[in-house]
């Protein structure tokens, strides 16, 4: 099976490496000139990875075309542009968009794809760069179930828990549920840490005691530890969490779904961006809550 991948960022590059390692004949492209060529040159697996000039070029060489870019407009440009996937893809090909984008834009793209006798799967992931490198991503899929089954070996090269959620857009909706929870669980840890610090508690002792009980979360275990260690390096960047929360709130707005908690976190994370720290990890939200409470950074 010929596989194409468009987007060689911090997620796309390790995903492409795992596809090559799994033995797929892989063609790649990305926006930055020269980047696809140097990526292809450094991969030593057989068959060799091929660099293409454009998404259309990737598509014409592939049965399955994966996109891993940032946001809805990026996927739309990659799919519908003059040199886009739709311009080059052979009928019967499958596009798997693994970016996190709008469920509604996904439905529109899937419908455009169908009109061109292409299949579209939305398959956003969670697990971050670590999951992408280890090939252990959680993959949430929307679209035709039989198409998913045909593409499963491709997805299995990149992820472990692959779940079909329903028609086009359902994978994106599931991913947004994930992002609502990561956002609120993050605020949960920040407020508890600041309350604890104000009360004079030893935060490592607190972390150890509370991870064992009903307050526990992945956010407490992983991000809480980073807050205590004052490690603000990104596991997941604030600006990407904000992009995802905007998707959540736009989608919720369209369906008249009030999400007061998710909206609050979106507002508070804007204070991190206002400081020019949008590339920091989401755990840097604790600095905002500390500042509100009059604590030194």
Stretch that binds a copy of itself, among 1-9, 51-59, 113-121, 163-171 (CB under 8 A): 163-171
Which residue is it, tokens 């609502």?
180
Q: Which of positions 104-143 make contact with a copy of itself (CB under 8 A)?
A: 126-128, 138, 140
Pick the closest to residue 248 from 175, 186, 188, 185 (CA basis): 175
Nearest to a copy of itself of 31, 225 (CB atom): 225
By CB under 8 A, name the one of 40, 98, 170, 227 that touches a copy of itself.
170
Nearest to a copy of itself of 113, 194 (CB atom): 194
Per CB under 8 A, does 145 bind a copy of itself?
A: no
Nearest to a copy of itself of 81, 128 (CB atom): 128
Token digits of residue 217: 């979360």
Per CB under 8 A, does 219 bind a copy of itself?
A: yes
Pick the closest to residue 110 from 194, 172, 49, 154 (CA basis): 172
- Return the SS3 of 281: strand
By CB under 8 A, name the one of 42, 53, 257, 274 that touches a copy of itself.
257
Pick the closest to residue 43 from 10, 20, 12 (CA basis): 20
By CB under 8 A, name the one of 187, 227, 238, 245 that touches a copy of itself.
187
Q: Which of positions 44-83 make contact with a copy of itself (CB under 8 A)?
A: none
By CB under 8 A, name the one of 33, 34, 199, 296 that touches a copy of itself.
199
Distance between CA atoms of residues 86 and 51, nearest Å: 19
Per CB under 8 A, does 264 bind a copy of itself?
A: yes
Per CB under 8 A, does 192 bind a copy of itself?
A: yes
CB 48 to a copy of itself: min, Å: 34
Distance between CA atoms of residues 197 and 227, nearest Å: 12
CB 14 to a copy of itself: min, Å: 17
As beta bridge partners, residue 162 has: 139
**Beta strand pairing call for 119-122 and 2-6:** unpaired
Distance between CA atoms of residues 248 and 253, nearest Å: 8
CB 287 to a copy of itself: min, Å: 14
| Residue 120 phi, psi (nearest 5) | -130, 125
By CB under 8 A, name the one of 89, 262, 272, 286 that touches a copy of itself.
262
- Active-site residue flag, 175: yes
Among 35, 48, 160, 175, the one annotated catalytic: 175
Nearest to a copy of itself of 212, 276 (CB atom): 212
Stretch that binds a copy of itself, among 20-28, 35-43, 93-101, 172-180 (CB under 8 A): 172-180
By CB under 8 A, name the one of 37, 108, 112, 191 that touches a copy of itself.
191
Centroid of chain to Cα 202: 34
Q: Are 36 and 95 in contact (CB under 8 A)?
A: no
Stretch that binds a copy of itself, among 26-34, 53-61, 72-80, 208-216 (CB under 8 A): 208-216
Pick the closest to residue 203 from 292, 286, 281 (CA basis): 286
| Cβ neighbours for 35, distance < 8 A, ≥ 6 positions apart | 8
Which residue is it, tokens 């311009």?
87
Distance between CA atoms of residues 165 and 122, nearest Å: 10
Residues with catalytic roles: 175
């Amino acid at each position: 099976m010929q596989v194409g991948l468009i987007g060689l960022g911090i997620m796309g590059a390790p995903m492409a490496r795992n596809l090559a390692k799994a033995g797929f004949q892989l063609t790649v492209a990305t926006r930055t000139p020269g980047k696809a060529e140097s990526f292809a040159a450094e991969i030593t697996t057989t068959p060799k990875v091929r660099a293409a000039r454009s998404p259309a070029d990737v598509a014409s060489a592939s049965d399955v075309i994966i996109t891993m870019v940032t946001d809805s407009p990026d996927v739309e440009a990659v799919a519908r542009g003059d040199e886009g996937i739709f311009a080059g893809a052979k009928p019967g090909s499958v596009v798997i968009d693994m970016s996190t984008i709008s469920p509604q834009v996904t439905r529109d793209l899937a419908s455009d794809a169908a009109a061109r006798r292409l299949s579209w799967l939305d398959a956003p992931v969670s697990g971050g760069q670590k999951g992408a490198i280890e090939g252990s991503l959680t993959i949430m899929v929307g679209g035709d179930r039989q198409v998913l089954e045909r593409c499963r070996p491709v997805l299995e090269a990149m992820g472990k828990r692959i779940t079909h959620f329903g028609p086009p857009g359902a994978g994106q909706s599931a991913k947004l549920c994930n992002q609502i929870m990561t956002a609120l669980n993050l605020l949960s840890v920040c407020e508890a840490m600041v309350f604890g610090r104000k009360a004079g508690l030893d935060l490592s002792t607190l972390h150890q005691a509370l991870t064992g009980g009903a307050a526990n979360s992945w956010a407490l275990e992983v991000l809480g530890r980073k807050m205590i260690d004052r490690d603000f390096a990104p596991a997941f960047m604030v600006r990407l969490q904000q992009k995802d929360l905007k998707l959540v709130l736009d989608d919720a707005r369209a369906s008249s779904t009030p999400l007061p908690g998710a909206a609050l976190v979106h507002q508070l994370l804007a204070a991190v961006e206002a400081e020019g720290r949008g590339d920091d990890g989401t755990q840097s939200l604790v600095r905002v809550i500390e500042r509100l409470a009059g604590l030194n950074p």
